[in-house]
A = this chain, B = another copy of it.
Amino acid sequence: MEKIRVAIVGYGNIGRYALRAVEMASDEVCAGIVRRGGSAGGYRELDRYAVVSDIRQLENVDVAIVAAPSRHVGEVVKTCLEAGVSTVDSFDIHTGIAALRMELDEVARRNGVASVVSAGWDPGSDSVVRALLAALAPEGETFTNFGPGRSMGHTVAAKAVPGVRDAVSITVPEGKGVHRREVYVVLDDEAEGDKVAAAIKADPYFASDHTEVRVVDDIAAFDTESHGVNLVREGAAGYRFSFDMRINNPALTGQILACAARAATRQRPGCYTLIEIPPVDLLPGDREDIIRKLV
C-alpha cells in the first residue's frame, strides 16, 4: 500500500510533535518540512528530510500539516490549497472557526483538495465529544473544564505582546466551564509591567476570562506540557455524561493532526471541521477490521 505523503509546514512545538506522530503512523511518511528559512536550523532529526521554504518545492505531497500560529493559519493553508495540496491545521480561535471554514471551503473546492480546520483537541476531538453528547441528550448543558495546564494558544498570544520576552499561560478550571488564566511573563528590559499586563488582558484570547498576569524572572518553574479536560453534560431524567483526559498538550495536538491528515485524503474537496468527518477516517488500516475491533 502507498503511504500518505505528509509535509509539515512550520517546525515549532506543534510541528515537532506532528512529525513524531507522522513517523509513528503505519500508513504515513514525511514528504518534507517547510520552514521560513528553508533550512534544518540545527534540528538533527530533520537531516533525513527535504527542508524547503515553500510547499511548491516539495514533490508528491498528499497533505500538509500546517503547524503555524492560529493568526497565520488562514494564509498558509491557502498557499497549500492553491498548490493543490490538502491541508490540516489546529486553528484554535473558537469564534473564528466557522468563517475560516467557509472561506477555505471555496478555495479547497476550486483546487480539488480537502482542508480540515481546527483539528487539535479543543477545538477538535473535544468538539466531537460535544457533538455526540448533544445528540445523546438534546436537553442539557455541556461544560468544558480545562486544565490545570499550559494553553498553547494563550501562551503564543501572551508572547506576542510588546515588552514580553517570555511567557506561559496556565489555564486553571474554576468549575462549570469558567476558567482563570494565570500568565507568567518575563519582561524586556525597558518594558513596564502594568502596561504589559493591560495589553495581555485586552487581547481577544484573554478578554473574556479572569486573567492574572505575574512578572517573574524565569518561566521554567511554571511551565508544563501536561494538560487535561473534564467535559460534562447533564441532561434531563438524571442523565450524566463525563469525558476526562490527562494528556501532553502539544503531543496530542500533533497526534490529532496526523490522524486528520489521513482523514483529509479520504474526504471529497471542501473544508471540514472534525465533527463533519466520519471518525473511522481518522484511523489507519482496513475499514472492515476497524469495524470488527471497535464497533
The yes or no answer to A276 lying at the interface (CB within 8 A) is: yes
Within 8 A of B (CB), among A64-91: none
Bitwise, A126-138 to B at CB < 8 A (1) or not (0) is 0111111011111
Are the C-beta atoms of A291 and B239 separated by less than 8 Å? Answer: no
The yes or no answer to A60 lying at the interface (CB within 8 A) is: no
From B102, B130, B284, B291, A97 is in contact (CB under 8 Å) with B291
Are the C-beta atoms of A123 and B237 separated by less than 8 Å? Answer: no
The yes or no answer to A243 lying at the interface (CB within 8 A) is: yes
Are the C-beta atoms of A132 and B242 separated by less than 8 Å? Answer: no
The yes or no answer to A278 lying at the interface (CB within 8 A) is: yes
Please choose the segment from A6-14, A146-154, A250-258 that sits at the chain B interface, where 4 or more of its residues have CB less than 8 A away: A250-258
Distance in Å: Cβ of A253 to nearest Cβ of chain B: 10
Distance in Å: Cβ of A7 to nearest Cβ of chain B: 21
Within 8 A of B (CB), among A232-259: 237-248, 251-252, 255-256, 259
Task: Report which A residues bind B (CB closer than 8 A).
Answer: 24-25, 94, 97-98, 101-102, 118, 121, 123, 125, 127-132, 134-138, 226, 237-248, 251-252, 255-256, 259, 273-280, 282-284, 287-288, 290-292, 294-295
